[in-house]
Structure 1
Amino acid sequence: MKNLLSSFTVFSSIQWLFFIFANTVVVPLSIGAAFDVSPEVSRMMLSASLLFTGLACIFQGLLGHRYPLLEGHSGLLWGVMLNLGLTASSLGMSFTEIGGGLATGLLLAGAVTMLMALFGWTTILPKIFTPMVMTVYLFLLTFQLMMVFFQGMLGITDDGTMNVGVSLLSLFLVIFVSVLKIKAPKAIGNFAILIGIVVGWILYVVLFPESGQEAPAAAFSFELFPLGAPNLEYGIIAVAFFAGVLNLSNTIASVQAAAELYREKAKPGQFRNSFFFTGLFSMVASLFGLVPYTPFTSTIGFLQSTRILDKRPFFIGGMLLAVIGLLPPLTSFLVTMPMTVGNAVLFVAYLQLFGTAYGSLRGAAFNSDTIFRLAAPVLLGVCLMNTSPAVFGPLPVLLQPFLTNGLIMGVLLSIVLEKVTNWGQFEDKEVRRA
């Protein structure tokens, strides 16, 4: 029994390692590409990302919210940073000017987050991010992630078309992992994510040997502010700071969802501690040009898929990731993992997140009036997600990072609707929740 438990923990830890890695590796590499940094700097950012992501997971799990939630690079802030980097020319600014402004704004947002946690000011946040706002956030996050992973698993070529062979392999992996999770015995189904990644990686190498990534040269080094030293570009600072504060909604949604999964009620201290470590590691991330951190609500989908709620594998997986960040040869090897494989497997894992979003409605009923509080922000966000950023070119450039981000705009609209409207007066008594 002891050996069985040991083997279970080992495989669970490796599964966590691959899950965290697959959610992490693309972020620093894409930011490096958007800001046109050298390959050496990009690899340094990846090493720093793996190291601090692993440490952030451990600190949050032990001293923060105390749940096995991936503390990863914020998808919201990732989009903002990518947008600013890719539109540098239209802004009339250099990459280092934008990068320096981002560093200032994100450092400021991290410091404010830590101060809010230390002085107990985080208690005002649930009044802003109400249950309905969190429901809107969960639905939009689900749609955003599904679109990212769906496009990523198609193996889109340089000319914008899909690679048919790679796409078929991805489709096979989606079906394979889904069947494993639903039909296989629990002992196997719990490791469907890990099995899918390993099998997919092997098949990819066998079927597409010419597409295999070459492991980059490895060298251990760190460099502060690789995107640009902090400056006073006030417009960029304002965008980064506002997005950093809005990013706090992730913590509320994640901790609440995790508490429900563990059939507990999240305590105020858990939120406060989580905000503190998120702010701390976000400041550290800004020093190395990384996207700030946040608890991943999408981890709930992973936990529901694997049905493994033991926290030990999570800590071991985080520790392994941090060690890999300090060992460039291991980092170089994992970078060769085909991202189409990771995206296909994560696509299945995050299908569970839609259930989390739906469940957050708690059986609420809507009529032709009250449906606006949910439909308007969700559908606006989805519409913006499917609208090319180029459409907003004629508008002020500092507004574009907000207007092109469906998640931000949907959540903002939901906050406004909840604050300016008394929805109770529109509810039909017969459909009110008992």
Structure 2
Amino acid sequence: MKELLKSSNWFSGLQWLFFIFTNIVVIPITVGAAFELSQERIASLLQLSFIVTGIACMVQALVGHKRAIMEGQSGLWWGVILTLTSTAAAQGMPLDVLGGSLTAGIIISGILTVIIGVSGAGPYIAKLFNPAVMGVFMFLFGCQLIGIFLRGMLGIPFGNEAENAQINLSISLLSILIAIIVAIISIKAPAGIRRYGLLIGIVIGWIAFNLTFGQQETVSQTASSSMELFPLGKPTWDTGIVITTVLAGLLNTANTFGALKGTDSIYRTETTNSQYRSSFTITGVFTGLSGVLGLVPYAPYVSSIGFLNQTGIIRRLPFILGSFMFLLMGIIPPIGHFFSMLPLSIGSAVLFVSYLQLFNSSLSFFRQVEFNTLNIYRSAVPLFVGIIIMTFPASYFDTLPDFLRPLLSSGLLVGIILALILENVFDWNRL
């Protein structure tokens, strides 16, 4: 009880709250815009995201892997869904068909993830994700998410509005300034202040944004928001979309391996089979629930590694308190409405700095691999191909078969698949 009443735990929990919030708030808004949903339905998705994410984080911390690792809507899934909406628009596929096929694929992925957890297959699958694969995953994952947050910093909107969008110079300058402030705090400030760098950056940035541009609402969240099953479309079947979605779900397991393996050094202990089993089972349950509620599916957040390294807040209690406060934001609409007014450019700037730590995580895995001029291809090929595909416009893939287009237009998925093939088909140790 004494620990619960300590103000330091609540301040640390508040920083976890803002970290969870800034990671989550942009996801339902961008997905809702991509699917051309009404403001009321986007508000409902936002509110549900707060509730489900808060519960998922607490369940993982209490009975899952039992570490302070955020369980949230997966960045890999988020990128895949946004890519699919772009390719579907180019094909002329109705959004309800796309959404219905995504729903079916996500529910199947959830069931498969639960099976992986219950059967105890996680440690065996983990062997496929050796240090070279995880290095590629961390680097490409960082590239994709840093790209999303840099876009937010520059004031470039998501969805259909982005087609002819331009950089907002005023917002960009303020966002860059906030990112610099957070970086300086993270590097130069004393440890006691450094751990609150993200929170300080958000508070300063939010105030500065409102003084400069006035208060702007991200989405009109009202108390009348109500839950709706299958808001993206009732389950239907498009073979290409379902296959890509299920494959993305299997590759999403890399988030679990990345988050748990990546925090082994922080907690100075190796992840046990029981932790893998519990983590996968819980992630699978919330992934299946996401398909029903129209949310982006869940996974442990690899970016938690950067947060833990930056703040040093590794105990579970502050994390549980932050998750509980985040749950309350969803249950009490006025609170969620207040925090939904956080400018996306400010949240993106703060997360931009936090996610830079993924580069260090990638290097940590690559240091475990002995490279030379003969075996360098094992990582060079997936890295360069994945990054280059990320720069291609969706129109480049119009000539591909429909069932391949969603998969091959994702640089992250292509890079991970290439890394898995190269690492598990060829014996690089002989070179």
Whether 2:67 is the aligned partner of 1:67: answer yes
Alignment partner, residue 402 of structure 1: 407
In structure 2, what is the equivalent of residue 421 of structure 1?
A: 426
Aligned to 1:388: 393
1:335 to partner: Cα distance: 1.3
Q: For residues 298 and 86 of structure 1, what CA distance do their matches in structure 2 show?
A: 26
Please say if residues 220 and 327 of structure 1, whose CA atoms lie closer than 8 Å, have aligned partners that are also in contact.
Answer: no
C-alpha displacement of 1:86: 3.2
Deviation readout 1:378-427 (Å, 9 max, x if unpaired): 1111111111122111112332221121111111001111122111121x
State the one-letter code of the partner of 1:207. Answer: T
Q: 1:334 and 2:344 equivalent?
A: no
1:107 to 1:212, Cα distance in 2 relative to 1, 3 A: closer
CA drift of 1:73 comes to 0.9
Which position in structure 2 is the counterpart of 1:431?
none
Equivalent residue, structure 2, for 1:432 = none
Shift of 1:367: 1.3
Cα shift at 1:214: 6.9
Correspondence list, 1:55-134, <5 A: 55-134=55-134
Aligned residue runs from structure 1 range 348-359, under 5 A = 348-359=353-364
2:266 matched residue in structure 1: 261
Q: Quick check: 1:205–1:212 contact (8 Å CA) kept in 2?
A: no
Change (3 A) 1:212 1:409: same
Q: CA deviation at 1:101?
A: 1.2
Shift of 1:46: 0.8
**Letter of the 1:94 counterpart:** P
State the TM-score, normalized to the length of structure 1: 0.93
C-alpha contact (below 8 Å) 2:126/2:257 kept by paired residues: yes
The answer to whether the Cα contact below 8 Å between 2:229 and 2:292 also exists between their aligned partners in 1 is yes
1:188 aligns with 2:212: no
Q: d(CA) in 1 for partners of 2:429 and 2:83?
A: 39
Following superposition, the deviation at residue 215 of structure 1 comes to: 4.6
For residue 429 of structure 1, what is the aligned residue in structure 2? none
Q: Distance in 2 between matches of 1:213 and 1:34?
A: 15
Per-residue CA distance 1:322-376 (angstroms, 9 max, x = gap) = 1111111112111110011011111111222211111112353321111111111
Give the Cα–Cα distance (whole angstroms) in 2 for the partners of residues 160 and 35 of structure 1: 18
Normalised to the residue count of structure 2, the TM-score between the two structures is: 0.94
Judging changes above 3 Å, is the alpha-carbon distance between structure 1 residues 85 and 145 closer, same or farther for their aligned structure 2 residues? closer
CA offsets, 1:140-193, max 9 Å, x none? 112222222222111237643222221111121122111212222221111010
1:369 partner letter: L
Aligned counterpart in structure 2 of residue 176 of structure 1, from 165, 168, 181: 181
State how 1:15-414 maps to structure 2 within 5 Å.
15-156=15-156, 159-209=164-214, 213=218, 215-414=220-419
Deviation at 1:212, TM superposition (A): 5.7
Measured on the aligned residues, the alpha-carbon RMSD in Å equals 1.9
Residues 362 and 213 of structure 1, relative CA distance in 2, 3 Å threshold? closer
Contact 2:66 2:316 in 1 (8 A): no
**AA aligned opposite 2:209:** Y
For 1:242 and 1:364, the matched residues in 2 are separated by: 27
Question: Any idea what SS the aligned residue of 1:343 has?
Answer: helix
Decide whether aligned partners of structure 1 residues 334 and 404 sit closer, same or farther in structure 2, where only a CA change above 3 A counts: same
Between the aligned partners of 1:118 and 1:335, the Cα distance in structure 2 is: 37
Cα distance, 1:147–1:156 mapped onto 2, change above 3 Å: same
Higher mean C-alpha displacement, 28-37 vs 204-213: 204-213
One-letter amino acid of the structure 2 residue matched with residue 191 of structure 1: Y
Would you say the 8 A contact 1:220–1:326 is kept in 2? no
Whether the aligned pair in 2 keeps the contact of 1:35 and 1:86 (CA below 8 Å) is no
Q: Report the AA paired with residue 34 of structure 1.
A: A
Q: Identity percentage over the alignment?
A: 40
Q: Is the 8 A contact 1:170 1:340 kept in 2?
A: yes
In the TM superposition, residue 12 of structure 1 has moved relative to its aligned partner by: 0.8
Tell me, yes or no, if the aligned pair for 2:221 and 2:333 is still in contact at 8 Å: no
**Cα distance in 2 between the residues matched to 1:32 and 1:337:** 18
Aligned residue for 1:360, secondary structure, equals helix
- Equivalent position amino acid for 1:302 in 2: F
Task: Name the amino acid aligned to 2:73.
Answer: H
Contact 2:54/2:326 (<8 A) preserved:
yes
Of 363-372 and 339-348, the range deviating more from structure 2: 363-372
Q: Compute the displacement of 1:39 (Å).
A: 1.4
TM-superposed CA distance for 1:220, in Å, is: 3.9
CA contact 2:87–2:405 (8 Å) conserved in 1: no
C-alpha distance in 2, partners of 1:102/1:212? 29
**CA–CA distance in 1 between the matches of 2:293 and 2:169?**
37
Query: 1:430 is matched with which residue?
Result: none
Q: Which residues of structure 2 form unaligned runs of 5+?
A: none
Measured against aligned partners, the alpha-carbon deviations of 1:245-287 in whole angstroms (never above 9, x if no partner) come to 1111111111111122111111111111100000000011111
| Structure 1 alignment gaps of length 5 or more | 427-434
Cα contact 2:44–2:227 (8 A) shared by 1: yes
CA, structure 1 residues 216+117, in 2 after alignment: closer, same or farther (shift >3 Å)? Answer: closer
